[in-house]
Structure 1
């Protein structure tokens, strides 16, 4: 799925500012930038105009491996020259470390902003997840669950509202009138924040941790005191916050169902039994989730339990997927800055 719709963009005469927020440092970073450049270039050619100068800003947190991105730039520039020719305008790429829950760029300097798989991460663990006496309110869980108290659900919702509103305010100052944002992140289909499509991957991870608690391998207080800085919103929540902030118009908002394992059928051709297929799917999901959350789990629980934890998680996910059609919900929203 392209991150930018060619029919909805204009080509500025000389220079175009583009930002990828939460770029990470893997191979997909520059693939995404290539997609954006190709789409804008095609639009400009269809209008009979030359492509603008591209000012490309890659943003992530301060500890992101920007060196890895910069090391891959020579190959990227070579590919652009080979595909576009020497007459193609310059692509000026910069790294911008910092949280997107704050200002990052000069006023009115951006024409297009993209963020993928980042905005479901909150700026912090929501406050208010402990009683006045310091007792954990979300015991035995690491995220929202059917058993979570209402005050926990409200704390997570409030934190997302504050973070997303702040994100919109900051971008409204940086994006020119008529500029666009395309944001994609994990969400949910229902207004109920405890539906399986929004939180059950966390539920299974909490269950895996609790099996280790029962065996004396992890302290129960450690589980009770860990809460993921994550929130999967529903479409209605996004619309409400955009309307409240007031700087953007929602052009498009869609929800896509995604298999937990990414639908990687090629990986399963060697599985000749349903049990083998379930194990393979569980292994694939566990690898993906581990790559995303291991660092935050290590800082809280220590490194020594990680292999055991994700082996248990893998088995639980495999059993779950063998009997449940649950899918992730990926929300994609396209916004235009008001004049």
Structure 2
């Protein structure tokens, strides 16, 4: 498929353009803390195996792992117990920049020891390349699985969407067969994801998934399609100006699906291996201006939106540049994102743009 986050330390890398994903991780911290506390207190384990799926590379990669270890270490001190050993599995596609993760591990461990003011339990790290739409771990080998901003990416572009002309994702003008094809691909992928994780978790093991979703049952509404609709405007304009070939655009579709709460629930219940302990829905602004209404109209506001338009374009670029290059070639990439930045600036200055996120806490049934 060609999809992978931009690696390295360049300006367009995921490592330098993932503040939105970091904000999402911070929102879900209280739920993780609750789950980790229960996991430790109920079992007092000598060894803990945890996995992060879709870990990418950069400042967010080891954030959840760090929080997990620090919380468990504090619980060990509280109950006067010996620290467990930690087996940490970092998963992403094989194109991921695993080298940068491995090179950061010594500093990571030193920082943890310094913050805890004592040596922590032994930590063993493993890089696990491969798609999570398949088995990636041994049977019953994990106690806790975490994945944030990853599972809404599909394993491939759905089949039978060749007539989605002028669009690159779902929209109000997408034919009904396109809507059905995307939903069926989501069903297949998410069901397989659950089936595989059910075999890899121990009984009673927990999994926290956070994905971009939608509140409404209609998958083609503005709520979930806006970010790609704006990109489609850019690409269509470039077709009209002869910069991009029309046939190239007509055969390009984004391999993602933003499910509704009911769609997620249905697949979990159908697969049958997990109990849904909690489900949370929250919104995150595209930009960093959480007090949007309080801003004064004027130069400072204009500058802020200009900066955030650029930041949002960089965020999307870090995620899908590999797909665009694979399909359109690298000669048009700068032009695409320069235009995209401008259209984002315009939209973000006129309305409060935001993503809807769904978080699920699932427990492996006996």
Tell me if 1:43 matches 2:70.
no
The Cα RMSD (Å) is: 2.1
Alignment of 1:118-137 (within 5 A): 118-129=150-161, 136-137=162-163
Deviates more, 1:35-44 or 1:145-154: 35-44
Distance in 1, Cα, partners of 2:301 & 2:92: 41
Deviations 1:42-95 (A, max 9, x none): 334444433311111001111111111010011011122223355532011111
Tell me if 1:234 matches 2:264.
no
Q: CA contact under 8 A between 1:193 and 1:233: conserved in structure 2?
A: yes
* Runs (5+) with no aligned partner, structure 1: 130-135
- Larger RCO, structures 1/2 (Cα 8 Å, 6+ apart): 2
Distance in 2, Cα, partners of 1:173 & 1:334: 17
Where does residue 17 of structure 2 map in the other structure? none
Match of 2:326 among 299, 310, 314: 299
Match of 1:8 among 31, 34, 38: 38
Distance in 2, Cα, partners of 1:165 & 1:241: 6
**TM-score (normalizing by structure 1):** 0.92
Match of 2:217 among 191, 201, 210: 191
Deviates more, 1:61-70 or 1:44-53: 44-53
Deviations 1:245-296 (A, max 9, x none): 111111111111111124378xx99x72554443233222111111111111
Distance in 1, Cα, partners of 2:145 & 2:72: 13
Distance in 2, Cα, partners of 1:178 & 1:276: 50
Q: CA deviation at 1:37?
A: 1.1
Where does residue 329 of structure 1 map in the other structure? 356
Match of 2:235 among 200, 204, 209: 209
Distance in 2, Cα, partners of 1:245 & 1:43: 34
SS of match in other structure, 2:64: helix
Q: CA contact under 8 A between 1:113 and 1:182: conserved in structure 2?
A: yes
* Runs (5+) with no aligned partner, structure 2: 1-25
Q: CA contact under 8 A between 1:4 and 1:39: conserved in structure 2?
A: no
Distance in 2, Cα, partners of 1:324 & 1:122: 29
Match of 2:65 among 12, 15, 33: 33
Q: CA contact under 8 A between 1:9 and 1:40: conserved in structure 2?
A: no
Deviates more, 1:82-91 or 1:224-233: 82-91
Q: CA contact under 8 A between 2:166 and 2:249: conserved in structure 1?
A: yes
SS of match in other structure, 1:325: coil
Where does residue 245 of structure 1 map in the other structure? 271
Where does residue 309 of structure 1 map in the other structure? 336
Distance in 1, Cα, partners of 2:75 & 2:229: 45
Deviates more, 1:72-81 or 1:118-127: 72-81
Q: CA contact under 8 A between 2:93 and 2:130: conserved in structure 1?
A: yes
**CA distance 1:53–1:313, change in 2 (3 Å):** same
Distance in 2, Cα, partners of 1:199 & 1:225: 18
Distance in 2, Cα, partners of 1:43 & 1:165: 35
Match of 2:170 among 108, 124, 144: 144
Tell me if 1:113 matches 2:145.
yes
Where does residue 133 of structure 1 map in the other structure? none
**CA distance 1:176–1:280, change in 2 (3 Å):** same
SS of match in other structure, 2:256: coil
Deviates more, 1:8-17 or 1:219-228: 8-17
Match of 2:315 among 282, 288, 291: 288
Where does residue 132 of structure 1 map in the other structure? none
**CA distance 1:322–1:80, change in 2 (3 Å):** closer
SS of match in other structure, 1:62: coil
Tell me if 1:77 matches 2:109.
yes
Q: What number of residue pairs does the alignment pair up?
A: 332
**CA distance 1:193–1:9, change in 2 (3 Å):** same
